[in-house]
Amino acid sequence: MASTTRIQVLKRFLLLPLACKALTAIGLIALGLQAHAADYTGPLFDAHLHYNEEAWDGKTGPHPPADVLARMKASGVRAIVANSRPNTGSLTLAELPQTRKAGVTVVPFVRLYRNRADYSGWFADESIYTMVQAELARGTAAGPYRGIGEFHLYDSANADGPVAKKLMVLAEERDLVVLAHVDDAAIDLLMANTPSQGRKLRLIWAHTGIGGASVERVDALMGRYPGLVGELSYRPGLVCDDNQLCPAWRALLLKYPARFVVGSDTWVNQRWQHYEGLMQGYRQWLGGLPADVARRIAWDNGAALFGVPAPRR
Ligand SMILES: [Zn+2]
C-alpha cells in the first residue's frame, strides 16, 4: 500500500466516534494496515562490495569513483569491504582522497580473480597464490589488505584444491578474513583445511547459503564455527511480506545478533544502478528488529571484524 493511501486511512480513522474506532482498529490490524516500525537510520557497513572493471576501468565506465561514492554517501554507507576484478578498482577507492571526503572507510580484500577465466580454476592455480602474496606484500593506500575473496566454489569438492587449502592456512595465519560464495558443504571443507580446524578462521559467508542451505543447517554451522559470519544479500527466504524478515530468519538473527552483516554485492553494473534502493531495502527490515540488534547487523558486526571506529556524524 502506498504511504499516501495509508495516511488517508489514518485520517479517516481519527474522525470516527470511539466505539467505531475500536472496531475499525481491529479491522485495520486484521488487514495488516497497522503502523510499521520505522526504518533503521544509523550507519551501514557494506560488507560485500565489488568495484569491477565494467563499472570503471580507471579511465572510463558508467560508474566512476565520484558516482559510486555519491551512492554510498546518499545511502549512509560509512564503510565497505572493497574487492574487485582486477584488484585495481579496490586500490583506487583505497587511495582517493574523495573516499575519505565521502566519509567512507575502505577495508580492502584481495580478489582472487584477475579476469573471468580465474573463476573456475583459482583453487588449483599456483599463479593465484603468487598473486595474493604479491598483493599482501604491497598493501593499499588505506593500509594492509584485511581479507581475501570474494571467491566462488561451484563444486564444493574444490575446497580441497591445493591452492584453496594453502589460502585457508594463509588466511588463518595472517588473520585475514575470508569472503566466500560457497555452499554449506564447502564451509565444512574450508574450515577443516585451517590449522585450527575452523575454530579460529573468520569467514564471511556470502549470501549465507544461497544454494539452498536451510535455516536449521545455517544455525548448526553458526554453532560449530565461532568465526562464521553470514552476509545476507541474495539470500532466498530472508524477507516476507512488506519486506520484513520471515519468522525463521528473524529468530536466527536474534539468536546470533553478532554474526550477521549486510552487503550490496555489486557484481554487475545493474547492482550499482540500484545501490540506493538495495540499501533502503536493508533499512526497512532492519527497522523491524530491536534497535540494538539492527545496529549490530547494520554496522557494529562489520566494524568489529576489522576494528573500524564508529563514524562521527
Ligand atoms: Zn559478490
pLDDT digits 0-9 by tens, 5-54? 444 444 444 444 554 444 444 444 444 444 578 999 999 999 999 999 99
pTM: 0.89
Question: How many A from CA of 151 to the centre of ligand 1?
Answer: 8
**From ligand 1's centre to the CA of 211, what distance in Å?**
14
| d(CA 264, ligand 1 centre) in Å | 8
Q: What distance in angstroms lies between residue 70's CA and the mean position of ligand 1's atoms?
A: 21
Mean pLDDT of the chain: 91
Q: Which residues contact 103 (CB under 8 A, 6 or more apart)?
A: 73, 78, 311
Q: Is 269 helix (H, G, I), strand (E, B) or coil?
A: helix
Taking the C-alpha atoms of residue 223 and residue 179, their distance in angstroms, rounded to an integer, is 19
Instruction: Report the 10 Å Cβ neighbour count for 3.
Output: 8
**pLDDT, tens only, 94-148:** 999 999 999 999 999 999 999 989 999 999 999 999 999 999 999 999 999 999 9
165-200 per-position pLDDT tens digit: 999 999 999 999 999 999 999 999 999 999 999 999
Q: Give the distance (Å) from ligand 1 centre to CA of residue 184.
A: 17
- How does pLDDT run across 203-216, given as a tens digit for each residue? 999 999 998 899 99
Q: What count of other Cβ atoms lies within 10 Å of the Cβ of residue 309? A: 8
Over residues 227-255, the mean pLDDT reads 97
pLDDT given at position 312 = 80
